[in-house]
């Protein structure tokens, strides 16, 4: 058992979101790049780099809403800590 999970129970909220985000972004990138390679859009080095950079930029754009959700999750964790220390719970 990790101490953080026993001391701050709200951290459990973050675990599925972080794991899901990581797997989701990796699989999206892998799927896009393998499809592009199979249909011949990555035959030259120039095309390959253009495809990689474009897909990485797309993933960064998809990451923004996820970071917003994580910031709200962290806010809830902090509010939980504050309420525990002030005796509001």
Measured CA to CA, the distance from residue 44 to residue 3 in angstroms comes to: 51
Measured CA to CA, the distance from residue 56 to residue 48 in angstroms comes to: 12
Q: What is the DSSP letter of 14?
A: H
Measured CA to CA, the distance from residue 62 to residue 58 in angstroms comes to: 6
pTM over 0.95: no
Residue 21 has pLDDT above 70, yes or no: no
Q: Which two tokens stand for residue 31?
A: 């799927």
How many C-alpha atoms does 63 have within 13 Å on its Cβ side? 12
The reported pLDDT for the residue numbered 39 is 92
The reported pLDDT for the residue numbered 57 is 76
The reported pLDDT for the residue numbered 38 is 92
Measured CA to CA, the distance from residue 38 to residue 54 in angstroms comes to: 17
């Amino acid at each position: 058992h990790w101490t953080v999970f026993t001391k701050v129970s709200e951290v459990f909220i973050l675990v599925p979101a972080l794991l899901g985000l990581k797997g989701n972004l990796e699989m999206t990138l892998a799927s896009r790049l393998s499809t592009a390679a199979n249909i011949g859009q990555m035959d030259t080095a120039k095309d390959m780099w253009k495809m990689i950079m474009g897909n990485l930029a797309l993933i960064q754009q998809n990451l923004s809403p996820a970071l917003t959700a994580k910031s709200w999750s962290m806010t809830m964790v902090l509010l939980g800590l504050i309420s525990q220390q002030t005796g509001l719970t």
